[in-house]
């Protein structure tokens, strides 16, 4: 084999007149008899190579038998395409290669789908032939982008004296949190390792060990029910520091993220990023991860509607609930009654019993319930900042339902009404989170972040008797309506950590059994510390403009946690199970 002199996608005018050696895949072949054009593709792009008896008769003959996806090596001269033949869609479109030599490095059968963008085939087919799917320029670009992002992150953190430290993947099961993936131990029958849901405790212990600034791009595992952008294994940019304040941690996180945007997208972000309290985010956007690229905020209209005589509203308010509305500006004509009924069904998913609505026309409010608001109309219109052509949508319920349903509706309408500029990356810090929430199913408080989150100093006294009022030193970072990452200061004193476990319903014994090593460690000179974890897959997804993290993971699982290519998970041999001292209690036939 000759040495490649350039990637196909990087052939440029600087090489004009020079001989190059390229290696790549045949994207397309056009045979005009004594002239053959091949679009040759590698990871960096495509270039046109031309076979012509004038350049080489032998090469032309070889080219006659070349088919799509063959791997070939060509040697030839870089020339400008003739007048009018330029292809503006590709970077090398004004150039082509006059081929003097060609070697077929490997043949190819006809692939099960076209190697091109905007593919429309079943996801499982793409995953079964992932090695072909990844050849598609869009997928190649996503994987290259992922590398650029991690490279940028590492460069920044390395410069800032952070130390990349690997933490174990075979560790201990801790029931707090999501479901663990377990790994049976062969050497210790009846015992199991767990794959980490995050390296949270290890990174805290690294602070105890004095490393002071840690990072790791690390795999995490959660055996949860799968949803759109969830995977059994995912990666996070995991960071922990000692001796810093939340503001310091937020500052370097912003710097790091801004560097990535600059390095990969050429975008200069404005810093500092905006900050919003959890309470304000819920109040204005009905969400703890608001997409602030568009307005359409939730407005509390209790005052405007409580006297209006519309029973649904008044009784809700009387029962301690609330009425909130959003104004879909100019959307009155976009939504028919039937459309609005569908929106009503949509909010039903979030527990709302109904969606009330009114359209604003020049002569006032219209719609089935408008008659109740003849008198208050002006106030309502003013509160909603409404004008003719707007559609007002109301949910009346307890606070949680109002926020969740209207928050989701807002995002849906934002997309439907094309209010979102996809070129904007809107970061936002959400701060002052409650430290716990009450879990009605389990009848106990659960940690809003995790049990190691530090309460605000001024709230410590409330921890015992009113934990629901305690705010945490926690800060989540949101990007375009997605929770990008979560961070907090951690508890570094044994007494507070013990108190927290107590609040969360642990007994002294169960806390000791599960987290004894952390409690002990806190007694041996543990520094004040805190950190953050950024969801890498989601970050890449958002920067790639994709809407599923599968599109930015080289070999993801499908929606049923299966890898259709390697066929994992699979049945294993009886011998393997015996060695692990386990038995399966239910054997299903191969699906």
Residue list, annotated binding site for ATP: 222-224, 231, 483, 535-538
Site for a second copy in 237-276 (CB under 8 A): 242-243, 245, 248
Q: Is 490 in the site for a second copy (CB under 8 A)?
A: no
Q: Is 293 in the site for a second copy (CB under 8 A)?
A: no
Q: Which residues are annotated as a binding site?
A: 176, 222-224, 231, 449, 483, 490, 535-538
Closest approach of a second copy to the CB of residue 43, in Å? 5
Closest approach of a second copy to the CB of residue 216, in Å? 10
Please count the other Cβ atoms lying within 10 Å of the Cβ belonging to residue 11: 27
Site for a second copy in 55-74 (CB under 8 A): 69-71, 73
Cα of 192 vs its chain's centroid, Å: 30
Q: Which residues are annotated as a binding site for L-aspartate?
A: 176, 222, 449, 490
Q: Which of 162, 157, 429 is nearest to 272 (CA)?
A: 429
Closest approach of a second copy to the CB of residue 102, in Å? 15
Q: Which is nearer to a second copy, 126 or 284 (CB)?
A: 126
Which residue is listed with tokens 């109309």?
377
Q: In sequence order, what are the residues at sequence separation of 6 or more whose Cβ sits closer than 8 angstroms to the Cβ of residue 458?
A: none
Torsion of CA 452, 455, 457, 459, to 10 degrees: -150
What DSSP designation does 175 have?
-
What is the phi/psi pair of residue 538, to 5°? -65, -40
Q: Is 524 in the site for a second copy (CB under 8 A)?
A: yes
Closest approach of a second copy to the CB of residue 354, in Å? 36
Q: Please pick, from the candidates 526, 531, 532, 539, the single residue that binds a second copy as defined by CB under 8 A.
A: 526
Q: Is 121 in the site for a second copy (CB under 8 A)?
A: no
Q: Is 438 in the site for a second copy (CB under 8 A)?
A: no
Torsion of CA 179, 181, 186, 187, to 10 degrees: -60
Closest approach of a second copy to the CB of residue 13, in Å? 21
What is the phi/psi pair of residue 162, to 5°? -80, 145
Q: Which stretch binds a second copy (CB under 8 A): 57-65, 206-214, 283-291, 460-468?
A: 206-214
Between 134 and 163, how does the x/- string for binding to a second copy read (CB under 8 A)? xx----x--xx-xx--xx--x---x----x
Q: Which is nearer to a second copy, 183 or 340 (CB)?
A: 183
Q: What is the DSSP string of 317-376?
A: HHTT-EEEEEEETT-TTT--HHHHHHHHHHHHTTT-S--EEEEEETTEEESTTGGGGTTT
Site for a second copy in 4-63 (CB under 8 A): 4, 23-26, 41-43
Q: Please pick, from the candidates 125, 267, 279, 565, the single residue that binds a second copy as defined by CB under 8 A.
A: 565
What angle do the packed helices 494-503 and 508-521 form, to 10 degrees? 150
Closest approach of a second copy to the CB of residue 145, in Å? 10
Q: Is 116 in the site for a second copy (CB under 8 A)?
A: no
Q: Please pick, from the candidates 81, 172, 265, 306, the single residue that binds a second copy as defined by CB under 8 A.
A: 172
Backbone dihedral region for residue 367 (phi beyond 0: left; psi -120 to 50: alpha; all else: beta): left
Q: Is 461 in the site for a second copy (CB under 8 A)?
A: no
Q: Which stretch binds a second copy (CB under 8 A): 171-179, 266-274, 450-458, 461-469?
A: 171-179
d(CA 374, CA 380): 10
Q: Is 295 in the site for a second copy (CB under 8 A)?
A: no
Q: Which of 505, 522, 506 is nearest to 514 (CA)?
A: 506
Q: How many CA atoms lie within 13 A of 467 on its CB side?
A: 23
Q: Is 549 in the site for a second copy (CB under 8 A)?
A: no
Inter-residue contact 541 to 143 (CB < 8 Å): no
**Size of site (CB under 8 A) for a second copy:** 126
Q: Please pick, from the candidates 272, 388, 569, 574, the single residue that binds a second copy as defined by CB under 8 A.
A: 569
What DSSP designation does 563 have?
B
Closest approach of a second copy to the CB of residue 418, in Å? 35
Q: Which of 549, 468, 452, 542 is nearest to 506 (CA)?
A: 452
Surface-to-core class of residue 374, CB atoms within 10 Å of its CB (0-12 exposed, 13-18 middle, 19+ buried): exposed
Question: Is the omega angle on the peptide bond into residue 569 within 30 degrees of 0, that is, cis?
Answer: yes
Site for a second copy in 404-433 (CB under 8 A): none
Q: Please pick, from the candidates 114, 181, 346, 482, the single residue that binds a second copy as defined by CB under 8 A.
A: 181
Q: How many CA atoms lie within 13 A of 96 on its CB side?
A: 19
Site for a second copy in 327-386 (CB under 8 A): none
For 154-225, where are the E strands, in sequence order?
163-164, 182-184, 192-194, 213-221
Q: Is 585 in the site for a second copy (CB under 8 A)?
A: yes
Q: Which is nearer to a second copy, 15 or 132 (CB)?
A: 132
Closest approach of a second copy to the CB of residue 286, in Å? 32
Helix (H/G/I), strand (E/B), else coil: 299 = strand
Measured CA distances, 328 to 292, 355, 362, 393, 401 (Å): 15, 13, 16, 8, 20
Q: Which is nearer to a second copy, 388 or 568 (CB)?
A: 568
Q: Is 164 in the site for a second copy (CB under 8 A)?
A: yes
Q: Which stretch binds a second copy (CB under 8 A): 210-218, 333-341, 342-350, 410-418?
A: 210-218
Inter-residue contact 574 to 134 (CB < 8 Å): no
* Residue length of the chain: 591
Q: Which is nearer to a second copy, 52 or 150 (CB)?
A: 150
Q: Please pick, from the candidates 340, 419, 496, 562, the single residue that binds a second copy as defined by CB under 8 A.
A: 562
Q: Please pick, from the candidates 13, 30, 191, 337, the single residue that binds a second copy as defined by CB under 8 A.
A: 191
Q: Which is nearer to a second copy, 465 or 524 (CB)?
A: 524
Q: Which of 457, 482, 478, 491 is nearest to 548 (CA)?
A: 482
Q: Which is nearer to a second copy, 169 or 482 (CB)?
A: 169
Closest approach of a second copy to the CB of residue 202, in Å? 6
């Amino acid at each position: 084999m000759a040495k490649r002199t350039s990637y196909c996608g990087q052939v440029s005018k600087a090489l004009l007149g020079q001989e190059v050696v390229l290696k790549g895949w045949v994207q397309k072949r056009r045979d005009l008899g004594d002239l053959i054009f091949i679009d040759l593709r590698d990871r960096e792009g495509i270039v046109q190579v031309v076979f012509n008896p004038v350049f080489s008769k032998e090469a032309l003959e070889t080219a006659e038998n070349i088919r799509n996806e063959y791997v070939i090596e060509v040697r030839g001269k870089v020339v400008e395409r003739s007048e009018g033949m330029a292809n503006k869609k590709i970077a090398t479109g004004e150039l082509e290669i006059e081929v003097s030599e060609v070697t077929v490095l490997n043949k190819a059968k006809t692939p099960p789908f076209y190697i091109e963008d905007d593919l429309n085939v079943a996801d499982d087919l793409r995953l079964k032939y992932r090695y072909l799917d990844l050849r598609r320029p869009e997928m190649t670009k996503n994987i290259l982008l992922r590398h650029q992002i991690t490279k940028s992150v590492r460069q920044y953190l390395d410069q800032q004296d952070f130390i990349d430290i690997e933490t174990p993947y075979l560790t201990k099961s801790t029931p707090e949190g999501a479901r663990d993936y377990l790994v049976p131990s062969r050497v210790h029958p009846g015992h199991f390792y767990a794959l980490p849901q995050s390296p949270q405790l290890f990174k805290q212990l690294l602070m105890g060990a004095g490393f002071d600034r840690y990072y790791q791009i690390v795999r995490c595992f959660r055996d949860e029910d799968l949803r759109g952008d969830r995977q059994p294994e995912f990666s996070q940019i995991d960071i922990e520091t000692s001796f810093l304040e939340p503001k310091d941690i937020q500052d370097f996180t912003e710097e790091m993220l801004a560097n990535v945007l600059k390095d990969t997208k050429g975008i200069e972000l404005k810093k500092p990023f905006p900050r919003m309290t959890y309470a304000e985010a819920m109040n204005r956007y009905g969400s703890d991860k608001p997409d602030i690229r568009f307005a359409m905020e939730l407005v509390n209209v209790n005052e405007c509607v409580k006297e209006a005589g519309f029973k649904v509203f008044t009784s809700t308010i009387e029962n301690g609930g609330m009425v909130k509305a959003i104004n879909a500006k100019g959307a009155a004509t976009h939504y028919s009654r039937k459309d609005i009924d569908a929106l009503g069904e949509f909010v039903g998913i979030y527990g709302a019993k109904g969606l009330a609505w009114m359209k604003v026309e020049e002569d006032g409010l219209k719609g089935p319930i408008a008659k109740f608001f003849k008198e208050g109309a002006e106030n309502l219109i003013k509160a909603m900042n409404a004008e003719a052509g707007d559609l007002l949508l109301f949910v009346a319920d307890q606070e949680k339902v109002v926020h969740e349903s209207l928050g989701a509706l807002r995002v849906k309408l934002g997309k439907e009404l094309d209010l979102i500029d996809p070129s904007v990356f809107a970061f936002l810090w959400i701060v002052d989170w409650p430290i716990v929430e009450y879990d009605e199913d389990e009848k106990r408080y659960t940690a809003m972040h995790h049990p190691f989150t530090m309460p605000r100093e001024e709230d410590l006294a409330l921890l015992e008797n009113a934990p629901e009022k305690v705010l945490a030193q926690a800060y989540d970072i949101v990007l375009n309506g997605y929770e990008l990452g979560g961070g907090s200061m951690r508890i570094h004193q044994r007494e507070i950590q013990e108190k927290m476990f107590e609040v969360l319903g642990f007994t002294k014994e169960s806390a000791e059994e599960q987290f004894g090593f952390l409690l002990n460690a806190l007694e041996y000179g543990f520094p004040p510390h805190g950190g953050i974890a950024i969801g890498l897959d989601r970050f890449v997804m958002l920067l790639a403009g994709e809407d599923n993290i599968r599109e930015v993971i080289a070999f993801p699982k499908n929606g049923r946690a299966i890898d259709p290519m390697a066929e994992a998970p699979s049945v294993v041999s009886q011998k393997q199970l015996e060695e692990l001292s386990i038995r399966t209690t239910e054997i299903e036939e191969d699906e």
